[in-house]
Chain A
Amino acid sequence: MGRYLKLYGRFTAQYLKFMMQSKVNFFIGFFGFLTVQASGLAFLYLVFQHIPTLNGWSFYEILFIYGFAQLPRGIDHLLTDYIWLLGMRVIIKGEFDRYLLRPINPLFHLISERFQPDAFGEIIVGIVITGIAIKKLGMEITFLKVILFIVFILAGAIIYTSIKLFFASLAFWIKNSMPIMNLTYAMADFAKYPNQIYSKFVQAIITVIIPFAFTAFIPATYFTGDTSLTLALFGTVGAAIISFTVAYSIWLRGIKIYESAGN
C-alpha cells in the first residue's frame, strides 16, 4: 500500500509538471467544466422563479442534491480519467501490453497515467453549492454527519469508477467500448435531481442496474431527512462494494483474454 502511494505521488508529480507547462490549458479545462455545471444551476434558478417547490422539494434542497452529485463525480474524474482511454484507444492500439509488463497492479498503473485537474471545475462547484445549501437549509453539522458525508462521497466515487471500469473493460471483447461508456455515463445526470420525478421504471434502472442513484440522490437526501440512515449507509456502501467487485472481475477476465495487437 505504501509503495503504491509513493508510486502514485511520483506519477502525479510527473503529470503535474507536464500540466504546468501550460497553465492556460488548466484554466480552459477548469472553466469548461465549470460552465457545464453553472448552466445546470442557472436552469434550476430560472425555473424556481416560477414555482415555490419542485414536487415538494425546495430550491436549496435541490441545490444540495445537485452540489452533492458533483463531488463523487469530480473525485472520480480527477483520479481515474484514463479509464476512458482504455475504452477508446488502449486496446485497439495494442498499448495494453505495457501494463502487463511492469511489476505493479495493472489497474493501478492504468489509473495513474493521468491526473485530471479539469475535475476541479466540478469539485469546486460541488463544494460551493453544497456549502451554500447547507447554510441556507440551516443543516446541523455534527461529527457523525461529517464522517458520513465523507464516506458517502468516497463510496459514490467508487461507484463512478466501477461503472466506468466495467464498461471500459468490455473493450477487451469489443475493442472500442467508448459508445457504451458514453451512454451509461450520461445516465449519471439522472441522479442530480430528486428521483421521485421519474417513472418507477427509470428509478429501478438507476438504483439497481446502473446504481447512479447511490452517488447522489440517496446519500444526499439522508442529510435533508428524506432517506433513512440504514438505506443511505448500507445502500451506498453496499452498491460501492458490489459494483467494484463486479467491475474488477470483468476487468480481470478481460486481461486474461487480451491478445496484443502489436507485432
Chain B
Amino acid sequence: METCKRTLGVYLPFAKSEIQRALAYRISFFGYILGDVFQIVIAFYLWSAIFNSSSSPKINGFTKNEMMVYIVMSFITAMTIGSGTEWVVASEVQSGEIAINLIRPINYKLRLISQSLGSIFWQFIAIFLPIWITMVGIRYFTLGELPPHITTIGTYLLSLIFSFLIWFLFNFCFGLTAFYVTYIWGLNMFKEAFVRFVSGAIIPIIFFPLWFQKALALLPFGSINYTPVMIYLNKYTTYETLKVLGIQVLWIIILYLFSKFFWGKAMKKLTIMGG
C-alpha cells in the first residue's frame, strides 16, 4: 500500500502537468481539433451520398444510420487515445535527453504512460464527451434513438482502454526509431495515414477484400480502432466480444514484450553513441 501511494505520488504530477500544458495551449488545441472535425463533416456528406446512390439500404451490414455513428465513434476513439508519445520519445532521443532518464530514479515507461494518461484524460473531457453528447442528443431528438445499453458503453470503454495501451506501446516503439531515422515527421506522416486506414478509421474493415482482412487479423491495427467501435455499435455477439477483447489483451502483451526488447536494443545503441 505504501509503495503504491509513493508510486502515485511520483507519477501523478506527470499526468497533472500534461493536463495543465493542454489547458495552457487550448486555443491551438481546438484549432487542430476543428481542422479534424472537417474530416467527419466530409465523411458524413460522402456516406450520405453513397447510401443515397446505393440500391440497397444496407452496405456490408451497415445501415446509413449505423455508418454515421461509426464515423463519429471511430473519429473520437482515435482522437482520444492518441497522446503523442512518439513525439516525446523521438524528441528526447534526438536531443539526447533520453540519457538523463537512465540516471533518474524513475521508470521511463511509467513516466511516459502517466503523461499519456494525463493527455487522454483531457482529450476524453474536451473531445470525446462533447462530441459524444452532441451525437447522442442529435440522434435522440431527430430519430428518437436512445444511446446504447450501459453494459455496451461499459464494454466499449474497457476496449477503449485496451486500445489506448496498444497504441501507446506501438508509439513508444515508433518513437525509438528516432535512433535510426532522422526524419521522424515524415515517417510519422506515413504511420498515421497507414494506421488510420488499416485500423478502420476511414472505412470499416469489413469493406476490405477478404485476403486483406485475413492479413489484418494477424496485425494489431484492428484492435486500435475497429474493435471498440464495433463493440459500441453492438455488432458482436457476447462470444465474439470476449474474443476481440482477448485479442486486444494479447496484443498488449505482445507489444509490451516487443517494446522491452526494442528498448534494450536502443539502450545498447545509446551507450555506443555516448562513448
Contact = CB atoms under 8 A, between A and B. Distances in A.
Contacts of B59: 50
B190 A35 contact: yes
A28 B27 contact: no
Contact of A54 (B30, B50, B193): B50
A28 B52 contact: no
Contact of A29 (B186, B196, B202): B186
A42 B202 CA distance: 10
Contacts of A54: 49-50, 53
Interface in A125-141: none
A193 interface: yes
A193 B189 CA distance: 23
B35 A28 contact: no
Contact of B186 (A25, A189, A198, A199): A25
A179 B202 contact: no
Contact of B46 (A28, A183, A197): A197
A176 B31 CA distance: 11
Nearest to A51: B53
A42 B198 CA distance: 11
Interface residues on A, range: 35 or more
Interface in B151-208: 181-183, 185-190, 193-194, 196-197, 202-203, 207-208
B190 A183 contact: no
A32 B189 contact: yes
A185 B187 CA distance: 21
B60 interface: yes
B54 interface: yes
A118 B194 CA distance: 17
A16 interface: no
B53 A118 contact: no
Interface string A27-52: 01101110110111011001101111
Given A29-B189, A52-B53, A190-B38, A46 B203 contact: yes
A52 B55 CA distance: 9
Nearest to A187: B38
B45 A28 contact: no
Interface of B: 27-32, 34-36, 38-39, 41-42, 45-46, 48-50, 52-54, 59-60, 181-183, 185-190, 193-194, 196-197, 202-203, 207-208
22 contacts: A25-B183, A25-B186, A28-B183, A28-B186, A29-B183, A29-B186, A31-B190, A35-B193, A39-B193, A40-B202, A50-B50, A50-B59, A51-B50, A54-B53, A179-B27, A179-B28, A183-B31, A183-B32, A187-B38, A189-B39, A197-B48, A198-B45
